[in-house]
Amino acid sequence: MNDERDQSETRVVEAGRRKEWTQGIVNTPIYRASTILFDSVAAMRAAGAGQVGTLHYGRSGTPTQWSLAEALTELEPGAAGTRLFPSGLAAIGCALLSVLKPGDQLLMVHSAYGPTRNLCDTLLKRHQIDTVYYDPLIGAGIEGLIGPDTRAIFMESPGSLTFEVQDVPAICAVAGRRGITTLLDNTWATPLLFPAIAAGVDLAILACTKYIVGHSDVMLGSVTAAQNHWQTLEQTSRSLGQHVSPDDAFLAARGLRTLSVRLRQHERSALAVAHWLADHSKVARVLHPALPSCLGHESWARDFRGSSGLFSIELASGDDDDVAALIDGLAHFGIGYSWGGFESLALPVDLARLRSLDRPHPGPMLRLHIGLESVEDLIADLARGLDRYG
């Protein structure tokens, strides 16, 4: 397992840096463009309709975006190509639209990112696409939910906020047999910790905003497709005019080059904090995929090459005001949405507002992103916070 992680760490550094794109510069430069000038009408015609590698029009990208997209493809063994999007949510939306049509049914994991659920409950519904939510722990039992109109299964593993790890290979095996497309939001693990296409996923989605960018300063998403889904994904994203700025692509590529070392440190520090919290008397449960207290931990242990820096905790007692007091006084954790940057963040979790059918979580919850600060400082900060609380 570790050997495979080591190999992908080399790819993280080398992938997408084609000489014809970099011109020998280490990082593919920022090529900004809308109009591309041709020498003649014949040359313009010969440039085709915007294939990767041929300059055509700004919306078809320049070496800056091609390089990032190719690097993300190379991180997913077996993948055919990657399309970039202006946010993770835009990537999710386009991936779904590339697969679904009116009258279809979508099986959506219950623990999906809130705005993904919102997309299903509003836009997809308006287009007569029916969403059925399923339990993240369903595994091969997903077969029982498949009906004549089921066209796609969407997974997010681990799930948002509650971190249930799904049996992705089992679900993909059923879907493959039944001719149903599988999509996975793989943002928490990235292809370094879970190569999704090799596990049987058809469309692997990343909110690059998080760990790929890694510095909390760019919004960006990607969808990497297996061969049989590449053409439709490419056509759909082109038809919708999806495009990312070369400046953002450059920053994402720059972030990508250090992804493996950042992830190793996020992993080490988050595990140290998670184990410390698990032993604390005021903490009822730690929802971290690498800890047995997390639902689906066995799937994580079997399928993943490591863990990242985001997890939740459930407190033994208290209410929303107590959680606010705990978080408000933290010196080293910012209060804000998103995660995956170099800095630590804390967020109160309100499942009641987000989901309809959850397992009961009796105590109040908060989500932590463990950044690259000293782990001793982070633990001392949380210790003071827990002393203030309750």
Catalytic residue annotation? 59, 113, 185, 210
Identity of the residue, 65 or 209, whose beta carbon is nearer to ligand PLP in the bound complex: 209
Scanning 4-12, 33-41, 84-92, 354-362 for contacts with ligand PLP by CB under 6 A, the matching segment is 84-92
Identity of the residue, 88 or 214, whose beta carbon is nearer to ligand PLP in the bound complex: 88
Scanning 41-49, 81-89, 93-101, 345-353 for contacts with ligand PLP by CB under 6 A, the matching segment is 81-89
Size of the site for ligand PLP (CB under 6 A): 13
Identity of the residue, 252 or 290, whose beta carbon is nearer to ligand PLP in the bound complex: 252
Residue that is written with structure tokens 């001719």 in the block: 179
Scored b (16 or more CB within 10 A) or e, 154-184 reads: bbbbbbbbbbbbbbbbbbbbbbeeeebbbbb
Identity of the residue, 63 or 236, whose beta carbon is nearer to ligand PLP in the bound complex: 236
Q: Which of 73, 111, 131, 160 binds ligand PLP (CB under 6 A)?
A: 160
For the beta sheet containing 130-134, the strands, ordered from the edge strand earlier in sequence to the opposite edge, are 79-85, 221-226, 203-207, 181-185, 150-156, 105-109, 130-134
Q: Nearest CA to 316 among 217, 370, 390, 231?
A: 390
The pair of three-digit structure tokens given for residue 241, joined into one six-digit string? 């005019």
Phi, psi of 169 (to 5 degrees): -60, -40
Q: Which of 84, 89, 226, 277 binds ligand PLP (CB under 6 A)?
A: 89
Using CB under 6 A as the binding rule, the residues of this chain from 213 to 272 that contact ligand PLP are 219, 221
Name the residue with the smallest CB distance to ligand PLP: 88
Identity of the residue, 197 or 206, whose beta carbon is nearer to ligand PLP in the bound complex: 206
Q: Find the shortest distance in angstroms from Cβ 24 to ligand PLP.
A: 32
DSSP state of 120: I
Contact (CB, 8 A) for 82 and 69: yes
Q: Which of 21, 31, 66, 113 binds ligand PLP (CB under 6 A)?
A: 113
| CA–CA dist 1, 210 (Å, integer) | 24
Q: Is 187 in the site for ligand PLP (CB under 6 A)?
A: yes
Scanning 83-91, 118-126, 341-349, 374-382 for contacts with ligand PLP by CB under 6 A, the matching segment is 83-91
* H or E segment and range at residue 265: helix 259-278
The pair of three-digit structure tokens given for residue 64, joined into one six-digit string? 């800056």
Q: Which of 60, 150, 182, 209 binds ligand PLP (CB under 6 A)?
A: 209
Q: Is 309 in the site for ligand PLP (CB under 6 A)?
A: no
Residue that is written with structure tokens 């639209």 in the block: 97
Using CB under 6 A as the binding rule, the residues of this chain from 333 to 352 that contact ligand PLP are 338
Q: Find the shortest distance in angstroms from Cβ 319 to ligand PLP.
A: 25
DSSP state of 86: S
Identity of the residue, 137 or 208, whose beta carbon is nearer to ligand PLP in the bound complex: 208
Residues in the chain: 390
Upper half-sphere CA count for residue 205 (Cβ side, 13 Å): 27
Q: Is 111 in the site for ligand PLP (CB under 6 A)?
A: no
Contact (CB, 8 A) for 115 and 88: no
Residues near ligand PLP (CB under 6 A) are 87-89, 113, 156, 160, 185, 187, 207, 209, 219, 221, 338
